Amino acid sequence: MRILLLTTYFRPDVASTGVIMSTLADEFVAKGHQVTVLTSVPHYDVDRTWEEYSGKLIYKERCGSMQIYRISTRAASNKASVFQRLLNYASFSVLSLYQGALLPKHDVILVPSPPLSNGVIAAFLSLLRGTPFVYNVQDIWPDVAVRAGVLKNRTIIQLLKKMESFVYKRAAGITVISEGFKRNLLGKGVPEKKISVIPNFIDIDFVTPHPKDNSFSQKFNLADKFVVLFAGNMGFSQGLETVIDTAKLLQDVPEIQFLMVGNGAGRSKAEIYLKNLAIKNVQFLPFQPHADLPSMYGTADLCLIPLRRGFTNDSVPCKLFTIMAAGKPAVAAVDLGSDTWQLLERARCGLCVEPEAPKSIADAILYYFRNPTAASEAGGNARRFVEAQFDPAVLADNYLEAFAHAMGKKFLSKAIGTQSISLDESSTIDAARLRRSQHNEEPT
């Protein structure tokens, strides 16, 4: 099968979508398929184009058997600026459409979203070449931007909704990462036969449990701290101010240190908020080199998944799979009954509390701080669960099956069907113990 992967981010960019698509491309090649990648020049981690990609509009590279075309883009130096981000998307769209039109015909196009504009480009390339495209929904736009308050202009919102509808209509197949996403699309009239639920995954050979005393913890003087880690995109949906409020509640526990690693539209606001509170137990770091990711997670004693109310009804954050692969317990501030809540309960690998509730998050952190055996048990459960359920090789076969369906062909593989994961099973978790502890334990 000849696969064209149209994605804004690809290795060495460390954006979660880029990591996922890079791993998928590797799996497709390993299974004997031909992959061409149409992507941007690296820019995500520093919000500017890498210097070695500053001389041309389009770069042609080889990575093993993969042919990669890198498009120069107008990187958004300020991710909080909607205008700059639109310029970033527009510059990639124009040149990727041009380069895509020059490429030989492929059997199928895979395009992840966001941004929505990539789906539009895939639709035009599909029409031009007669090639079906499969749309991979990693975030539902414009819904997430409207909910976050980033998009308020009604005209723009309606335009984006029409664009969304156009892409869903033109796509030969749509893959979504959770049952919540599927419900959202069904509610918008997308035919069920178009939709495949394929959860995200993690490279369990790269992200493995690491000892706490390692090069990363030594570099940042964290080896003797109880480290509460948030790592990833710092967008408006995370509500990082809630994490800082939680840190304030725990500022008198000197062993506990909050570590915030990443970048995004919400970071500067969160740093200003921290400065105004004048607390010393929170440290911000930029995105770290990808090679340091396992040791960074090894430094953590637990990891946070904070989201504002209403933002986890439809999705499971990508960072959860990294946390699980690293063998760390998670404290998730998510909506009751959401896919994330159910997954954590099923895996028995963390504690869920209501969103935007610093006191509840602080209690959950204290629970693991005071119960290292429970933390170790949850981390072990996480690793075993991700090894059993989120193997990239198996999930790549699910994508290949979706491709074959979009092409009107039958997919033949040793894999047994599409392993969509049911999150309906109930299980007991340490949540009951947390609820009991909340009546007796206050932040010190």
DSSP for 342-399, written as a single string: HHHHHHT-EEEE-TT-HHHHHHHHHHHHH-HHHHHHHHHHHHHHHHHH--HHHHHHHH
Phi, psi of 363 (to 5 degrees): -60, -40
pLDDT at 86: 66
pTM, full prediction: 0.76
pLDDT in the model for residue 413? 55
Q: Exposed/middle/buried for 432, CB within 10 Å: 0-12, 13-18, 19+?
A: exposed
CA angle 320/295/138 to nearest 5° reads 25
Place of tokens 């935007």: 356
Sign of CA dihedral 45, 51, 57, 60: negative
For residue 416, the model assigns a pLDDT of 34
> Which domains are delineated in the chain?
2-171 (3.40.50.2000), 215-385+427-438 (3.40.50.2000)
- In what side-by-side order are the strands of the sheet with 226-233? 282-285, 256-263, 226-233, 302-306, 330-333, 350-353
Model confidence band, residue 363 (pLDDT cutoffs 50, 70, 90): very high
Q: Residue 55 corresponds to which tokens in the numbers above?
A: 């001389």
pLDDT-based confidence at 435, cuts 50/70/90?
very low
Mean per-residue pLDDT over the chain, rounded: 87
Average pLDDT over residues 284-309: 94
76: pLDDT strictly greater than 60: no
Whose tokens are 């998670």? That residue is 330
Between residues 147 and 109, which one has the greater pLDDT? 109
| CA distances (Å), origin 332, targets 78, 229, 388 | 28, 12, 22
Phi/psi class of residue 110: alpha, beta or left (left: φ > 0; alpha: ψ in -120 to 50)? beta
> Model confidence at 252, in pLDDT bands (50, 70, 90)?
very high
pLDDT at position 417 is 37
Indicate if the pLDDT at residue 361 is higher than 50: yes
pLDDT score of 311: 77
Tell me how far apart the terminal alpha carbons of the chain are, to the nearest angstrom: 59
23 has pLDDT over 90: yes
150: how many CB neighbours lie within 10 A of its CB?
A: 16
In 3D, which of 290, 286, 250 has the Cα closest to residue 268? 286
Residue 428: band (very low, low, confident or very high) from pLDDT cuts 50, 70, 90? very low
Q: Who wins on pLDDT, 414 or 299?
A: 299
Which of 95-99, 249-253, 256-260 is predicted with the least confidence, judged by mean pLDDT?
Answer: 95-99
Stretch (H or E) spanning 82: helix 82-102
Cross-strand partners of 71: 40, 58
How confident is the model at residue 93, as a pLDDT? 86
Q: Is the pLDDT of residue 354 over 80?
A: yes
Residue 240 parent element (H or E): helix 240-249
Q: Kindly report, residue by residue over 121-179, the tens digit of the pLDDT.
A: 999 999 999 999 999 999 888 888 787 777 888 998 999 999 999 999 999 999 999 88
**CA 226 remoteness from chain centre:** 25
